[in-house]
Amino acid sequence: DSIELGQYDHYMQKEIFEQPGAIANTLEMVTGASALSAGLFGAEAEEVFARTERILILACGTSYHSGLVAKYWLESVAKMPVAVEIASEYRYRDSVSLPGTLVITISQSGETADTLAALQHAQREGLTDTLTICNVPESALIRQSKLRFLTRAGPEIGVASTKAFTTQLAVLFVLTLVLAKQRGLLSTERESELLAQLRHLPAAIQRVLECEMAVRHWANRFAPKEHALFLGRGVHFPIAMEGALKLKEITYIHAEAYAAGELKHGPLALVDSQMPVVVVAPNDALIEKLKSNLQEVRVRGGELFVFADRDVEIEPADGINIINLDDHAGLLSPILHVIPLQLLAYHAALARGTDVDKPRNLAKSVTVE
Ligand code: G6P
């Protein structure tokens, strides 16, 4: 990965399109093997995982969102209780530190001041089993953690994180499988099925990237808006949060994400014809519930922009815009669904003429408090 722009107009666009390769590189050690092993996370990993009873994830910004996705995976597949905390909150609050906790930090840079301080706080509390998922080999988080898995996204220049996020998710999924396996929760058959899905992930992302033109079309209609709502449910709720964060960061449009079931507890009051509502609609167990949430928005005149798996039956109609994702990847679906949201933010920013790679007031890496 060179730091030249090449055929792209911006680093963010380049980094969005580098995701298939970034994931393939990150997973090289995993997908090349016929079986998963704890050793992927470091020499002491097997021993540490054997005494792990719960997980505490600490991170900031986009990396925090990947922790939120991981909670759904780790609890459902590895039956491991998980708490995810914003590093700047955790480091300053009195919390209860229980033995058997594995502390995981997630960071693109490995130098974020709050994440580093949160790790040190946990260590002072006696939580010495620590793992970092990080994109920079010689970073402070890598040096200060017992276990590590390097994402191999290559240099990320755009302030709004894209390929670091999806590579973090890929690693967190591998961690989920490794823990499930070590806890006797993963049959050999299921393991090879999920490994096959991981191997297919770069190709699946490549197909999702083909929706760029359609997303660009939507983005032009988004550009004049000042507010937007993002909805998701389950493991796709943090994806809606990440979509809203991307839009805020680079377009300065005020965007909020809600778990769709919470609509009626507040945000529905904001919905009118001026409020675009972006919906993450995977074909999962909650799809029928999500559809009735969409009805609630439509009845109030809100315009829907829905990213739906191909086999989700939602018909396009007046005020209901649909872009279909061809490939759906089961448990890995959140990694696919974030891609069009990245593209939406990118193209809306272009239409608004903002500085995509260096948004006002933000820094790539926040190394001071
Ligand atoms: C800054 C960046 C974000 C990033 C966050 C955490 O706010 O602008 O893109 O998600 O820091 O950074 P880290 O390097 O710890 O992932």
Determine the pLDDT at residue 2.
56
Alpha carbon of 366 to ligand 1 centroid (Å): 7
Q: What would the mean pLDDT of 267-296 be, rounded to a whole number? A: 90
Q: What is the ipTM of this complex?
A: 0.98
- Give the mutation target among 365, 367, 368, 369 for probing the ligand 1 site: most ligand atoms within 8 A of CB: 365
According to DSSP, the β-strands at 82-86 and 54-59 are: parallel
Sign (positive/negative) of CA torsion 51, 54, 58, 63? positive
Pocket probe for ligand 1: among 16, 109, 166, 338, the residue whose CB has the most ligand atoms within 8 Å is 109
Question: Which residue's alpha carbon is at the smallest distance from atom 11 of ligand 1?
Answer: 365
**Average pLDDT, rounded, for the chain:** 95
Ligand 1: distance of its center to the CA of 62 in Å?
6
Strand order of the β-sheet with 54-59 is 82-86, 54-59, 101-107, 130-134, 147-150
Phi (first) and psi of residue 79, to 5 degrees: 55, 40
Ligand 1 surroundings by CB, under 6 angstroms: 60-63, 107-109, 112, 115, 159-161, 362, 364-366
Report the residue among 58, 62, 150, 165 best suited for mutation to probe ligand 1: largest number of ligand atoms under 8 A from its CB: 62
pLDDT band with cut points at 50, 70 and 90 for residue 32: confident
Question: How far is CA 87 from each of CA 62, 92, 105, 119, rounded to the nearest angstrom?
Answer: 12, 9, 9, 8
| Across 5-11, average pLDDT | 93
**109 CA to centre of ligand 1 in angstroms:** 7
Report how far residue 268's alpha carbon sits from residue 261's, in angstroms, rounded to the nearest whole number: 11
- Max avg pLDDT among 2-6, 20-24, 294-298: 20-24
Report the pLDDT value the prediction gives residue 328, as an integer from 0 to 100. 72
Active site residues: 364
Q: 341: pLDDT confidence band, cut at 50, 70 and 90?
A: very high
CA–CA separation, 262 and 290 (whole Å): 11
Render pLDDT for 209-240 as a digit per residue (tens, 0 to 9).
999 999 999 999 989 999 999 999 999 999 99
Helices (DSSP H) in 105-255: which residue ranges? 113-124, 140-144, 163-182, 188-209, 212-222, 237-251
**Nearest ligand 1 atom to alpha carbon 109:** 14
Q: Tell me the per-residue pLDDT of 234-278, one tens digit each, with 9 for 90 and over.
A: 999 999 999 999 999 999 999 999 999 999 999 999 999 889 999
CA of 108 to the centre of ligand 1 (A): 7
